[in-house]
Every structure is written in C-alpha cells, then in structure tokens.
Structure 1
Amino acid sequence: MQFSYANPTVIHFGKGQIQQIANSIPTDAKVLVIYGGGSIKSNGVYDQVVSALANHQWQEFSGVEPNPTKETLDGAIDIVKRDGIGFILAVGGGSVIDGSKFVAAAALHKGDSWDIMSGKYRIQDAVPLGAILTLPATGSESNMGGVITKKATHEKLAFMAPACYPKFAVLDPEAMKTLPERQLVNGLVDAWVHVCEQYITLPTGSMVHDGYAEVLLRNLLKLGADFGNQDDAWRENLMWTANQALNGLIGTGMPQDWATHMIGHELTALWNVDHARSLAIVQPSLLRNQIESKRGKLEQMGHNVFGLEAGADLAERTIDAIDNFYASFALDTQLSEVPGDKTDAIESVVKKLINNGYTALGENQAITPDVSRAILERAL
C-alpha cells in the first residue's frame, strides 16, 4: 500500500444540523443556493435554509435535473459570474451537488464550461461550496468528483479536482422522510455498486480497506432486507453508509474498476435510464465476463458478505447473490427503453465508449470495446 489521503469536508450529521450553515458560510459572501425540482420546499428543508441564511445575502437557482446537464448549469454559471457570487450552497442529492461543483469550477473559467469535461481546461480553483444532502447515494457531498451530461451530444462524463471538495456537508436523515421509494432504492443500489467498484478487483491483503468495504456491503444488505421497515435508525445508517462508500477512503491506494459506471453512463446519456438501474443492468454481466480475474475477490465477498459456503463455484454463486439483491427491489435489469432487437443500441453504446476514450476499462484495463460489446450483449 502506498497513498496520500485527506478529506477536507467538514460533516454535520444528524437532525437539525442545517442550522450549522449559518456559521459555516462567511456573512460577507454573496450566496447562490442551487437545488433541483422543488421537493425541498415540501419537506421543510428549504424553510430551514432560509432561516439559516437570515444574515446572508443570497439568491437561488432551481431546476437541476436528476442527470445534471451543461445546458441547465450554464444558467447558474452566468449568475455566479454576473453577480459576484462568493459561495455556492447545493441543496439536494448527488446530481445537484455534482452540478454545483461544475458551476463552482466553470465560473472561474473564461471559456466554455464543457472544456472541463473535454480536458481542455484543468480545474485549479473553484468558488467555495457547501452541500445539504437530501438523498443518500453518490457520496458527492464529501468527495471531489462529479458527473455531467451534455444533452446536445448525449455525452455523460466525469471530472475530479481537489478544488471541488465541499467545505462542509450537512447530512440530516430527516430530509429523507418524504423521498419516493424509487429514489431510495436507487440510492441504496448506487452506494452498493460504488463499494463494489473499489472492492471486487484484485486481492490486496489490505485488512482495513477490505474489511471496511465488507462492513458497508453488509450494511446495505441489511438495509435492503429492512426496506419495508424504515425508521430513524434505518435512514441514519443508509445516509452514513452511502457517504462512506465514496468519500475516498476505501479506494485509497487500492486497484479500482469503474467499468460498470462508464458503460452505465452511456445508457443514461442515450436513453435517460436511472443511473442506479443502469448499474444493475451492467454489473452482473460484467462480473460474469471478468470472473476469472475477479474470482479471488468474488470468493472473498461470497464468504464475508453473503455468508456462502466454500466451493469451486463460490464466485459464480456470489454473482447470483448480487442478482438476487437487485431482484429483491424488483428492479428492471433489462434495457426496456429499447424494445425488440437491441443490436443497434449496443453498437450505439460501444461507439460512445470509443469516442470518449473508454477503450481499456477495469482494474486490468482488459475491457476493450469488443469486451464491452460482449458484456452488453449478455446484459441487454
């Protein structure tokens, strides 16, 4: 193991913690509050934000989509530049927070905002931002990454920069009480695959990384089994588990995969498939395709997470258990947006992967376009 690790985001966790933003944002900074479709106005979060910002000069920008687009976010970027915004407050789930990071970085760039995603502009600094999490899933509230879609070209790409770490994040599980079941399922599945991308790779012998990843996976299994009995403890544990799944800790210094995400992003970009469901479509097929290189970790997962008995087919049974986990939520794990023969759909995804440079995916860089095609043929 060899790594350097730091996470600068201050976490305020628990009921009533939204009030902490009053002291976390400089009072002399103009604030832009960014949120999504307006659900924060029906669950009490918006009113708490208004109260906490009573001594601040602020304005708002709404309408950030579940898969945030450059086209929408450019409007917020214009406001930041025009009005001299000195602090951004993202209020929502991972999409709103991802989008706010994009705004924070692009507002300091004189060129087109998509230059961040294409690599033409390297993020060195960003407008300071904080986050109030309302949907646990992505861990974006305390990591340095984001994923943005360009609607005009059906591209969905990721960016990462240390300057995009939120200064603070408020995690109040009370905000989850009014979430639709579909969003909660998506959040749980998203967190599950985040852990898997950092865990189901190569045996490393790292007791801390593997052990912590296995704890998080067992948490999510338990929360999934108890999905119909949500109480305060259930919400607290999901929110904290999803945060820990992608705050950088369990992947630091470890081999990581992320092929499921890269392929899944194309399903979302082309057909607007829910992000979490795109992962559930791709992952089992990818694991079966790559089973020999991943056999050691799959066997470890089968034993330590699912409690399966040893045997020559333990890796295969572990993938079946993952399938059953998704089935327990009645997830549609086929690409139903494309009826009938999916040959053209598969070729569209492979073409997008090639255009985006995703020609050697996975921890072994063994997932070529032809392998991606085989994975999709099996998945769809």
Structure 2
Amino acid sequence: MKKLLIAITALAAVACNNNKTNETSMSETNISEAPFGVLASGDSVKLYTLKNASGMEVAISDLGGTIIKWTAPDKNGKFEDITLGSNNPEDYLSNTKYLGALIGRFGNRIAKGKFSLDGKEYTLAINNGPNSLHGGSNGFNAAIWTATPIEGAEPALKLTYLSKDGEEGYPGNLNVEVVYTLKNDNSLSIDYKATTDKSTVVNLTNHAYFNLKGEGNGDITDHEITINADKFLPTDAGLIPTGELKPVKGTPFDFTTAHLIGERINDTTDIDIKLGGGYDHCWVFTDQTNKLKSVANVLEPVSGRTMEVFTTEPAVQFYTGNFLNGKATGKSGKKYEFRYGFCLETQHFPDAPNQSAFPTTTLKPGETYTSTTVYKFGVKK
C-alpha cells in the first residue's frame, strides 16, 4: 500500500511538472487568438495578439493582415495604442484609407491602370481617379489570409495568401508570405516573401497610420521627423511620378535634418506640396543598397515616444493623412480628423512598371521576392 501511494505521488508530481512546462511554453509564445467578427459576406475573421516581454502588444487580423492595435510606452512607462484602426472588421472593407493593412499586389499607384510586360499589355482595376491604387478594388487588404502563430522567445505570426492569375488584372499565381515578429526591444519586424509562376510585378508594403500621442489624440503636425533621403519623386496632379528624381535640398521635402511635420506642410508656393495637399510623396533613400538600414526617425516631444524605421527597400511613401476627414470613427470612439495620422510605407517606386529608369518591380518564375521593414519604438526623456 505504501509503495502504491509513493507511485501515485510520483505520477502526480510528473503531471504537475508537465502542466507547469506547458504553461511556461504558452507564456513564452505570448500569442492569443480571438474572434474579431463576421463580415457581411458571412466570413468569420480572427484577431491574433502578440505580446513581448516589455509589455508591448500588437494585434493583427487575418483580414488583410491588418494591424488593428499597437501599444507603445511613453517616457513615464504608460502604454497607449499608437496606430489608427476600427473595432468593426467591416470598416476595413468599406473605407478606402487602408488602415494598418498589408498592401499588394502593387503598393501605390500605377498610371491609368496599365502596364506592359514581356510584350503584353495588362489592364488593372481602376480605383483612384484614372489610376490603379494599392492593388485595385479588392487588393490584399481585402483578402482573408491564412494565419499561423509561430512559437518562440519572441512571438510571431505567419500569414500566407495565394493571389491567383488574373486577380485584379495582374498576371501569374503569386504565393505570398508575410511574417510579423514582435521583438523584446519593442520593434516589429515585417518580412515579406513571394514567388510566381508567370512574370508579374510586385511591390508589397504595410499601410499603418501612426500617431505617437495615441490614436485619435489630435493631429500629427507636431511630430518631429527625419528621413534619410536626398531625393524625392515629384508627381503630376494624379500623384503619378513625373520620372524626375528631384533633390530635396532647398525644398519643403528636406528632412535630412529633423523638422516638425507641420513646419512646411502648407507651403503651397511649392507646386509639389500643392499637388499632394501636403505630404503624399515617395522619398528616395540616400543609401540605395538592399541591406537593412535606418531610414527614418520620428519623435513626439510631449509623450517622448520615438519610432525608428529600418528597411531593405529603396524608398518610402510619407503620407500625412491628408484625406482623413472625420468620417471614420476610431477604436476609442474618436473621429479621425484631417492629418490625425501619418504613414511611412516602405516600398519600390510608384508606377515603376511604366518607368524603365526606376528600379524594377518585375518578379519572374524561379525568383523570390524578399523585403524586410522594422518599426522600432523607444522614448526620449
């Protein structure tokens, strides 16, 4: 009887230890999954929340691979959601602001929704005046991706999507993989990969809107920004690049040293500011290598929050929420008014398929498209 009691006690101890091991394993991954809602189509969508050892949380939906929530500490250690978004998944389909979404097959604009590749002309969906924007009427932002949590010391979420041949007018079956990794230094790495079975064009990015004061807490003109770019791309009235790479020196586009976003944003004596209604342009980095490099820094002086951007891409679209108009209501119930958020969309050049002097965005069978962008948060006290 005594031996039996000892055996039972031993088994109970093993079971207890196994449970502790499982609990530790789950807490190490810091990934939770929850329903996000049901779309009008009847499709259910989910929300995956990553949490790091520092307390930062990033919530991502399988709808559009969209970043729904992103918290960051201020100089007093207070965490606040610093990205624009909605609590209603249907809003991500009904508005055209692309809040937090993955963008593809081609980020930014393609003139007149047409391009030629290997001697054949392709016609795309037109959804921005006469042009095609961010992949068309139903781009990657509107797709439901397959989501796979990745266990490890730093939580990650892998998203995959098959963009079929002819979708929105683009050629080739494009297999896309995007991995979000939340690191313990309060950075979020976004790693993109894609392959195709037919020559096509690819330009992937994320369209997160940031307000380092907290989402809905006023406009972003009082943020200070540096962009490590010595040129930018002037545009026509439809925001299609003219083909010129214009030096930023001596213009309101010179952020090689820190300036407030609002310092020169309304200088309508500058034709490019006037055409963009502020900043909605592509900056070309001084460092054109495809290595991961620091390309931008942002400071919100009251909270002390800082954000540094690293990327392997050659350019960034800096957009200052010029089309936000108060019609969208944010997660905290506040209206998103004019310039309540800014975007730093790392990418290749807009309209590159039609401009041979620009770095190519062509992807051929047997090749692999890869790109990495990192957003790293800190504080300045």
State TM-score, norm by structure 1.
0.29
Tell me which structure has the larger Cα radius of gyration.
2
Higher helix content, 1 or 2? 1
State TM-score, norm by structure 2.
0.29
Higher strand content, 1 or 2? 2
